Amino acid sequence: MLDKVKELIGEVNAFNTTSKEEIETFRIKYLGSKGILKDLFAEFKNVPNDQKKEFGQTINLLKNSAEEKVSTLKEAIENAVEEKGVYGDLTRPSEPINLGSRHPISLVKNQIIEVFNRIGFTVSEGPEIEDDWHNFTALNLPEYHPARDMQDTFFIEKNPDTLLRTHTSSVQVRYMENNEPPIRTISPGRVFRNEDISARAHCIFHQVEGLYIDTDVSFADLKQTLLYFTKEMFGKSKIRLRPSYFPFTEPSAEVDIYWGLETETDYRITKGTGWLEIMGCGMVDPNVLKNCNIDPTKYSGYAFGMGIERIAMLLYQIPDIRMFYENDKRFLEQFKSVI
Ligand code: DAH
């Protein structure tokens, strides 16, 4: 009997837990009204007199051990909760937070804005859903003008026409209608064309339109601005203007920059010429000024338009335009280090 009690003392001392439920089960098992100690105390009267003293002392020891165990385990739990507090351990290092990164289109757009901001251009925006007047007619592209076919348009409604703008030149018209010269503004934005999607073309892309209107603005001013832009944007200072045609400018030109022929990629992207086309430009046609209530006998100006994807592909050597729209983290994460 005595050995049994001593064994129980060993068990009590060895018991350990951090669970409140287990402590309670332990307490009921030893100290509860139908517990082990209750039985042992009832047994006391059957113990022979000469053993009563030792038996009594031993079951008291068991009782004290069990009570102490319950209180120390409970205290340990409470202390642990206190240490954690509401916020846990405030001195622990924080969880690593993955920083996001800007989309390459935004990076290039912001860079273009910054370059033109430095020479006094403001930023303006217009709607993506346009009417015929702002996208075509005011820009010297009346109905049945053959150049309309070049811009495969997504129409939303016919008569009167509502469409997804095919270029940001529509913002030129809106800006001139609402502002007096001098005007110096660039208009970045999304444009839409019903084209087959391939590595080089997409039905959604981005452009930046530029517009400068004042007295005595000349073609030389345009050239100087373009030279400044290509130096700042690409670090290249050789450009050439090839005569071209746009209905809204006269004369019109396409701008090429001399990219060089140093690497194999240079050969590939310039088709072995060293030259790359980056935008269209020209002197704003007097008809366009008239359409926007600006007197062409008093004012003149230049305009230009470029594709952001094309520039981003050049700067970051991106081989396929579709990569911009696939939301592939492996692609996007590569722009983390660029601000
Ligand atoms: N809107 C033309 C396009 O989408 C680009 C352009 C060319 C804009 C010449 C201009 C310009 O302002 O003068 O292809």
CATH number at residue 170: 3.30.930.10
The last residue of a domain, from among 87, 118, 135: 87
pLDDT level of residue 79 (50, 70, 90 thresholds):
confident
Kindly give the residue spans of alpha helices, DSSP state H, lying in 179-276: 219-234, 264-269
Q: How far is CA 138 from CA 108, 117, 205, in A?
A: 29, 27, 23
pLDDT level of residue 85 (50, 70, 90 thresholds):
low
Phi and psi at 180, nearest 5°, equal -90, 150
Output the pLDDT for position 124: 98
The string of pLDDT tens digits covering residues 290-334 is 999 999 999 999 999 999 999 999 899 898 999 999 999 999 999
Per mean pLDDT, which of 87-91, 141-145, 227-231 is the most reliable? 227-231
Ligand 1 pocket check for 191: Cβ under 6 Å? no
Query: Given a cut of 80, is residue 75 above it in pLDDT?
Result: yes
| Residue 46 forms part of a structural domain | yes
Ligand 1 pocket check for 285: Cβ under 6 Å? no
Query: Given a cut of 90, is residue 2 above it in pLDDT?
Result: no
Output the pLDDT for position 84: 64
The last residue of a domain, from among 87, 114, 141: 87
The string of pLDDT tens digits covering residues 54-66 is 888 998 998 999 9
Output the pLDDT for position 270: 86
Same domain, yes or no: 38 and 130 = no
Ligand 1 pocket check for 209: Cβ under 6 Å? yes
Identify the weakest region by mean pLDDT among 28-42, 146-160, 238-252, 262-276. 146-160
| Residue 312 forms part of a structural domain | yes
| Residue 97 forms part of a structural domain | no
The mean pLDDT of 125-133, rounded to a whole number, is 97
Same domain, yes or no: 160 and 309 = yes
Query: Given a cut of 90, is residue 101 above it in pLDDT?
Result: no
Q: How far, in Å, is the centroid of ligand 1 from the Cα of 160? A: 24
Q: Other C-beta atoms within 10 Å of 194: how many?
A: 12
- 50-63 as b/e: b if 16+ CB within 10 A: eeeeebeebbeebb
Closest-CA residue to 141 (of 253, 280, 291, 305): 291
Closest-CA residue to 180 (of 48, 294, 69, 76): 294
Pocket test for ligand 1, best of 248, 250, 252, 256 (most atoms within 8 A of CB): 248
Ligand 1 pocket check for 289: Cβ under 6 Å? no
Pocket test for ligand 1, best of 151, 167, 283 (most atoms within 8 A of CB): 167
| Residue 78 forms part of a structural domain | yes
| Residue 99 forms part of a structural domain | no
Same domain, yes or no: 275 and 217 = yes
Mean pLDDT score of the chain, rounded to an integer? 91
pLDDT level of residue 289 (50, 70, 90 thresholds):
very high
| Residue 154 forms part of a structural domain | yes
Output the pLDDT for position 309: 95
The mean pLDDT of 276-282, rounded to a whole number, is 95
Ligand 1 pocket check for 305: Cβ under 6 Å? yes
Pocket test for ligand 1, best of 300, 304, 309 (most atoms within 8 A of CB): 304
Same domain, yes or no: 138 and 182 = yes
The reply to whether the predicted model has a pTM over 0.75 is no
Domain of residue 45 covers 2-87
Identify the weakest region by mean pLDDT among 37-46, 167-176, 198-207, 235-244. 37-46
| Residue 98 forms part of a structural domain | no
- The residue whose CA is least distant from atom 8 of ligand 1 is 305
CB 244 within 8 A of CB 280: yes
Same domain, yes or no: 109 and 82 = no
Output the pLDDT for position 246: 94
Which ligand 1 atom is the nearest neighbour of the CA of 282? Answer: 13
Same domain, yes or no: 47 and 110 = no
Identify the weakest region by mean pLDDT among 40-49, 57-66, 122-131, 241-250. 40-49
Rounded CA gap, 279 and 310, in Å?
Answer: 10
Same domain, yes or no: 28 and 142 = no
Same domain, yes or no: 224 and 275 = yes
Kindly give the residue spans of alpha helices, DSSP state H, lying in 255-304: 264-269, 286-291
Query: Given a cut of 90, is residue 81 above it in pLDDT?
Result: no
Ligand 1 pocket check for 208: Cβ under 6 Å? no
Query: Given a cut of 90, is residue 336 above it in pLDDT?
Result: no
Same domain, yes or no: 36 and 165 = no
Output the pLDDT for position 5: 86
Output the pLDDT for position 266: 85
Same domain, yes or no: 138 and 265 = yes
Output the pLDDT for position 149: 73
Please name the residues in contact with 59: beta carbons below 8 A apart, sequence gap of 6 or more.
5, 37, 40, 41, 44
- The residue whose CA is least distant from atom 6 of ligand 1 is 305
Same domain, yes or no: 186 and 322 = yes
Output the pLDDT for position 30: 92
- If one counts the domains in the chain, the total is 2
| Residue 95 forms part of a structural domain | no
Same domain, yes or no: 36 and 129 = no
